[in-house]
Amino acid sequence: MPDTVLYDLQNGVATLTLNRPEVLNSFTEELLDELADCLEKIGDDDAVRAVILTGAGRAFSAGQDLNSTRASYDDGGRPDFRDILKGHHEVMSRIRELNKPVIAAVNGVAAGAGMSLACACDLRIAADNARFTTAFSKIGLVPDGGLAYTLPRLVGLSKATELIFFSEMVNAQDALEWRLVNRVVPADELLSAANEEATKLAAGPTLAYGLTKRLLDAGSTRDFDSLLGYEADLQDEAGDSEDHKAAVKAFLNKQQAVFSGR
C-alpha cells in the first residue's frame, strides 16, 4: 500500500503531501495517523524549519472519507463522532502547536475537514483553480477540525457564519478577497511559490516563529492584560535565543543577520 502521506525534505523545508488522490485525499484513520506522526517528527527535527502541506492530484482534501464510515449508517445507526474527531483533533492541534511555520499549498478543492486543515495552517497559498466549501451543513453536521475557531479569525464572524450555513463553493479569487487565503497563484506555479515562501521562513528565526504562533493563538482567547503578561514571558524566551543575540549584534555592526533557528 502506498503511503497516505508523502514526506520530502529539501533545504530546511519539509513538504507533506496527502496521498489518496483517487478519493480527493479524504481522511481515513491511517492518513490522519501518518500525518500526526510526520508532524511529531518534524517538531523534533532541527533540520526542518518550515513546512508545506499540500495534496496529490486535483484536490487538497475532501475531508472525512465518507466511505470509511458508510457501514455505521446501516439500520439507522451512525458513526462514533467523538472517536472520529480524536484523529482530526490530533492533527489540527499538532499543526497549531508545531514550533515552526506551516504553509497550506491549496492545490484544488478543500472541503469539510479538508478546509479545516487548510485553515489550521499558519498561511495559505491557493492555486487559481482551488475551491473551498465548508460542506458540513450539506450533511447536517456542525463545523469540526477547529473551523469554528480558525474561520472567524480569518474572514470575520459574519462571513464565517455565511460560509458555514450555506456551504457554497468559494473560488480562489473570492477566497483571496475575503482573506481566507494569503495569495493566489497560477496552478502550475503553486509549489514553487510555496517553496519560495517556505525557504524564506526556513532561513528565519525559527524559535521566534514558533513562539509567535503561540502568541497569536493566545490573542483570541486572552484578555488584553493577560496577553501582555504572556507576551513578556515569550519575549523573555525569544530574547534568550542565539538568533536574537546574533541578529542584534549583526544590526549594530551593520551586517546581515544569519539565523540558525536556535
Which residues make up the interface to ligand T3D (CB under 6 A)?
A: 23-24, 26, 62-67, 69, 79, 84, 109, 111-113, 133, 135-136, 139, 141, 144
Beta-sheet strand order (sheet of 59-61): 59-61, 109-111, 131-133, 170-171
- Cβ proximity to ligand T3D: between 27 and 259 the closer is 27
- Cβ proximity to ligand T3D: between 55 and 112 the closer is 112
Nearest-angstrom CA–CA distance, 14 and 194? 11
Bridge-based pairing state of the strands 5-10 and 170-171? unpaired
- Cβ proximity to ligand T3D: between 28 and 199 the closer is 28
In 10 A of CB 141, how many CB atoms? 14
CB of 71 to ligand T3D, least distance (A): 11
User: Which residue among 89, 128, 174, 217 is the active-site one?
Assistant: 89
Catalytic-residue membership of 89: yes
Burial of residue 32, with CB atoms counted within 10 A of its CB: 0-12 exposed, 13-18 middle, 19 or more buried:
buried
First to last CA, the chain: 38
Burial of residue 121, with CB atoms counted within 10 A of its CB: 0-12 exposed, 13-18 middle, 19 or more buried:
buried
What are the cell numbers at 225? 492584560
Nearest-angstrom CA–CA distance, 216 and 104? 18
User: Which residue among 122, 144, 243, 244 is the active-site one?
Assistant: 144
Nearest-angstrom CA–CA distance, 61 and 131? 10
**Measured between alpha carbons, how far is residue 185 from residues 106, 118, 130, 178, 188 in Å?**
10, 16, 10, 16, 8
- Cβ proximity to ligand T3D: between 64 and 206 the closer is 64
- Cβ proximity to ligand T3D: between 47 and 139 the closer is 139
CB of 181 to ligand T3D, least distance (A): 17
CB of 15 to ligand T3D, least distance (A): 22
Give the amino acid at 196. Answer: E
CB of 68 to ligand T3D, least distance (A): 7
Catalytic-residue membership of 188: no
CB of 250 to ligand T3D, least distance (A): 47
Active site residues: 89, 144
